[in-house]
Amino acid sequence: MKKMIVLGGVAALALSGAAIAQTNDGPRGGRMDPDARVSQAEFVEQRVARLTAMDANGDGVISREEMQAQRQARMGERRDSMFERMDANGDGSITRAEYDAAHEQRSQQRAERRVEGGEAGQRRGGRGHRGGHGMGMRLDRDGQGVTIEQARQRATEQFARMDADGDGFVTGAEMRAQHEARRADHQARRADRRQAAE
């Protein structure tokens, strides 16, 4: 049987909390408004839709090949988007001046996020644990690959943990609170492992 695995990218897609009810202001866009509300159905279905889009053969399981194809497509889109942002005059080439201007703008945006993000922003550009990279929670609980149904169940469980007031909706503030709690737990476990190793 073809070996199925779950990569960090699946977890990142399944855990991204900003795709629904998001605002697109700010330099990176996709930031969820703290007051926005997302229902459980919206939350779960948005995550399932992202995974379903990766399931090229429609078998309900995300294979390594499907994950790699999705990642390559996203990388190409990001490169194109980055080029378009840097090519200020739209002539299809980037001059040294355009490159330098884009670099300066990015540096300013990072500095603004550091101010807004406090200590976390200073360390990671305000993008969360590890700067938004390496979200490693495994969805594959049975070792047979991640199925769409497993993703649906995991998203439902995650929603229940985030819905602090039990009103059937999750706000941007609740998502951030859960993220901070998970980060604190991760840091505590990491510190424990370091102490045990000493």
Mean per-residue pLDDT of the chain = 74
Q: What is the pLDDT of residues 15-69, one digit of tens each?
A: 343 333 343 333 233 456 667 889 999 999 988 888 888 888 888 888 778 878 8
Q: pTM (2 decimals)?
A: 0.51
DSSP 27-65: SS--EEPTT-EEEHHHHHHHHHHHHHHH-TT-SSEE-HH
The residues, ordered by sequence, that sit 6+ positions from 94 with a Cβ below 8 Å of its Cβ are 83, 86, 87, 102
> How far is it, in rounded angstroms, from Cα 180 to Cα 115?
18
Question: Amino acid identity, residue 98?
Answer: E
What is residue 92's predicted lDDT score, i.e. its pLDDT? Answer: 92
What is residue 41's predicted lDDT score, i.e. its pLDDT? Answer: 92
Question: With contact defined as beta carbons under 8 Å apart, do 30 and 24 qualify?
Answer: yes
Give percent of the chain above pLDDT 70.
Answer: 68
From the number of C-beta atoms within 10 Å of its C-beta (0-12, 13-18, 19+), residue 92 rates as exposed
Question: With contact defined as beta carbons under 8 Å apart, do 64 and 5 qualify?
Answer: yes
Residue 104 clears pLDDT 50, i.e. is over it: yes
Q: What is the pLDDT of residues 49-64, one digit of tens each?
A: 888 888 888 888 887 7
What is residue 6's predicted lDDT score, i.e. its pLDDT? Answer: 36
